Amino acid sequence: MKFTLGIEEEYQVIDPATRELTSHDQQIVTNAAKVLNDQVKAEMHQAVVEVGTNICEDIQDARQQISHLRRSISNIAGDLGYKIGAAGTHPFSKWETQLITPNPRYDEIVNELQDTARSNLIFGLHVHVGIADKNMALHLVNAMRYFLPHLYALSTNSPFWEGRNTGFKSFRSKVFDKFPRTGIPGIFDNYAQYENYVNLLVKTKCIDNPKKIWWDIRIHPVFPTLEVRICDVPLTVDETVCIAALIQALVAKLYKLRSQNMNFMVYHRALINENKWRAGRYGIDGKMIDFGKEKEVETKLLMAEFVDFVDDVLDDLGSREEVESIFKILERGTGADRQLKAFEETRDLTKVVDFITEQTILGV
């Protein structure tokens, strides 16, 4: 198995003078589409640009592609008089003043979800791993749910919301929690059972298509992939690559166990949610629960155990260096930790925005 990758990132469009989020009137998307084709698209809010890699053969290919996308979008935005930023929320812009992209699909979502949609001014990272067998993908999703809070803690990059220090390392998921069909999914015994669930929702007009299931991890409704959606968009390319490499390694490890007729324990959503809450509140600085041992453990220790768990697949994937860069994140802090430090030093949220825009293109 190759375990190909796909990475999507959502960027903030920022006015360099005010440091506010701003509408770019889809100019960035229009100009970028000439060179990047369908790798760039508009989002519901006009202050968002989303990019997606093509299928990546391995993690080095993924690094190259996501670096190219950040660099290209940054240059195109710069030529138009904007900057881009990679953070889960903007430090002080208010959602109430942001324009919605005119599009029948977005009109429909806003009409149904009202202020929960209008206030959904957040920026995430989605990582796809190629798995064509839907039953295998579902088995992997069931097992991977346990590790979602670990991945989320590593990606935390949204401590501010509407000019306030929220006290959370990631406030983004608190904003997104207001949507229906979000969060950690429940367990499905097989793909047929999942399909019955989707068909019932479509039949009863809860959704018109399975893309409106916005869980933290899902079997993608169109591509032959499973998709991890829990993460804030990280500040730097290095962090995105580290998290994508970890997700790929986790899929490969759980696939390997399954192929050897061994399974990872599957835990109830209510338990995993306890760790998700802690990850959002404390990032990598708190404790999470080791459900096997039934006790609290320092999150940083759990991260080291995570790396140990996937160790035996890293050389086959060629991703040892990328996965082990997790220790750099543990040492210097996540995007949220570094944003908070920038604020502590300057007491000025515009300087935090400057920090975000600098970090976004670091090393690309």
Element (H, E) at 195: helix 191-203
Query: Averaged over 296-324, what is the pLDDT?
Result: 98
Q: What is the pLDDT of residue 218?
A: 98
- CATH architecture of the domain formed by 5-360: 2-Layer Sandwich (3.30)
Q: Is the CB of residue 319 less than 8 Å from the CB of residue 249?
A: yes
Query: Averaged over 260-270, what is the pLDDT?
Result: 93
State the first-to-last Cα distance of the chain, in angstroms, to the nearest integer: 30
Distance in angstroms (rounded) separating the CA atoms of residues 146 and 114: 32
Percent of the chain with pLDDT over 70: 100
**pLDDT higher than threshold 90 for residue 1:** no
Q: Where are the domains of the chain?
A: 5-360
Instruction: Pick the closest to residue 28 from 63, 72, 59, 89 (CA basis).
Output: 72
Q: What is the pLDDT of residue 105?
A: 86
Percent of the chain with pLDDT over 90: 95
Question: Tell me: the pLDDT tens digits for 139-191?
Answer: 999 999 999 999 999 999 999 999 999 999 999 999 999 999 999 999 999 99
Question: Tell me: the pLDDT tens digits for 4-51?
Answer: 999 999 999 999 999 999 999 899 999 999 999 999 999 999 999 999
pTM, to two decimals: 0.97
Beta-bridge partner residues of 183: 215
Q: How far is CA 127 from the centre of its chain?
A: 7
Q: Phi, psi (5° rounding) for residue 27? A: -65, -40
DSSP for residue 138: H
Element (H, E) at 32: helix 27-36
Which 3 state secondary structure label does DSSP give 194?
helix
